[in-house]
Structures are given as structure tokens and as C-alpha cells.
Amino acid sequence: MEAWLPMVGLVEDIRRAAELLVQYRPFIAFTGAGISAESGVPTFRGRGGLWERFRPEELATPEAFERNPRLVWEWYRWRMEIIYKARPNPAHYALVELERLGLIRCVVTQNVDGLHQRAGQHCVVELHGNIWRARCMRCSYKLVFREPPREVPPRCPRCGGLLRPDVVWFGEPLPEEAWRTAVELAESSQGILVVGTSGVVMPAGYIPHIVKQHGGYVVEVNIEESAVTPIADVFLKGRAGEVLPRLVEEARKLLAHG
């Protein structure tokens, strides 16, 4: 009986979350490293995270890049090689299906791996950039990689200048357009589905709070409690790749019954 009770609770919570998604559609989704971890992409925080092995100031700051661009690019190429081999998991595809069903209208993500787009998500707002893009330090030309660069540091094909990863480093502001779009989505949505984020990286972590402050509902899916959990109306504890497909299934049932 004790082993069954948590499952009963999760089933009820998934049903409640599905009811909110259907009643207050469309939600937005907000994703973090946890969803990509299930595809084998290392997270930054938590046990086994990248920051246990690497110091941010040595690899993910403008000063680090100025000091040793080759070292920074070698680290990013290593990450790109991991992501290149990764595949979207059931959680990514569940979000695509929720978009298709009209239950979420956009995914706002902190991830830079591009897995949402590879899964088929149409609306994705990238708050921290994309690891597959690079921009020239001299002429601002942007390049999209189809695979990890063979030589590092890569050079601009237009002017020969040094390319840098088109991601947000520590000490840098978020892309203005992406942040503005994310805030507008949060302010105008009646709910947010938060998946796999610690909720501590700011200012991105404010997005669920903006939804809440504007009267919206917060549904969180995570393997453990986070900084978002205290404001969550429904907390679904579990792996996103297992919980989200069940959420989709429950939402389909509600939509079928009108």
C-alpha cells in the first residue's frame, strides 16, 4: 500500500495539471537543463554537473575568451560533440504535441542545445543563445554550425575575425529581443509549464514568477523541488520523459470529452 500511494498522488496531480492546461490554454513552457539531461546532455548544477569539474570564470566569461579563446572553444567543441550525438527525448516530443494540441503556444528555454527545434517545436525563445551559432567579434557576422568545428578557434568566413559562441556568458545581459518576447509571453499567459530547471539562474528564473504575479497558474515537472516549487500550483515529481507523455495523454482525454 505504501508503494502505491505516491503513484496515486501523481496520477491525481497529472489529472489536475491537465485540467489547468485545457481550461486556461494556451500555457507557455519554460525549460531548463533537466529536460536535456534525459538526452545525455550534462547539466551545470547538481551532482555531476559541469561546474563541479570546470570553473565558470575560466570558460564562460568574456574575460576567459579574451585570455584564451582556444581553450574556451575546445570546451565548447567538446560540449557540441556531446549534443551532436544526443537526440530529443520523449519530454521534448511531448511539448511538441502540447503545442500541436494548442495547449502551449511557445517554449521559453534556458538551454542552448537546440533539441527543442530538432524535436519539431515551432515556437522557441532562447534566453541564453544557441551553441550551434557563432558570431564574429569584428563584423558581427553570424554563422550556424551543422556539426562541431574541426579547427578551433574558428574564424569568420567574411572578414577573418575571431568567432565566439553565440551564447550568454556570465556577466553578459540576455539577448534583448528574446528577453522582451519571453516577458510578453509570461505577462499574457494564464499558465506556465516549468520543466527541469533549478529556477535560480537570473534573470531567466523570473519568468515563472511573472506568470504567477499576473494571476497565472504554475505547473512544475522536476525530479526534485526547486526554487520554483514554492509558487507551483501543481508539482509533478518525476522524470520529464515519463511525466510529460502521461500529461499529454490525460490532456487528450479531456479535449476529446469537450
Binding-site residue ranges: 32-51, 76, 79, 110-113, 136, 139, 156, 159, 196-198, 222-224, 240
Which residues touch 86 (CB under 8 Å, ≥6 apart)?
36, 39, 40, 41, 113, 115
Contact 243, 221 (CB under 8 A): yes
Give Cα 74 distance to the centre of its chain: 23
Which of these is catalytic: 92, 116, 122, 128?
A: 128
116 a catalytic residue: no
Q: Where are the beta strands (DSSP E) in the chain?
A: 27-31, 104-109, 124-126, 129-136, 142-144, 163-167, 191-195, 217-222, 234-237
Cα angle, residue 109 at apex, residues 139 and 75 outer, rounded to 5°: 55
Q: Do the bridges between strand 129-136 and strand 142-144 make them parallel or antiparallel, or are there none, so unpaired?
A: antiparallel
With b for 16 or more beta-carbon neighbours within 10 A and e for fewer, the 41-67 pattern comes to bebbbeeeebeeeeeeeebbbeebbee
CA 172 to the chain's CA centroid: 18
Query: What residues are designated binding site for substrate?
Result: 76, 79
**Binding residue ranges for Zn(2+):** 136, 139, 156, 159
Q: Are strands 163-167 and 191-195 parallel, antiparallel or unpaired?
A: unpaired
Annotated binding site for NAD(+): 32-51, 110-113, 196-198, 222-224, 240
Active site members: 128
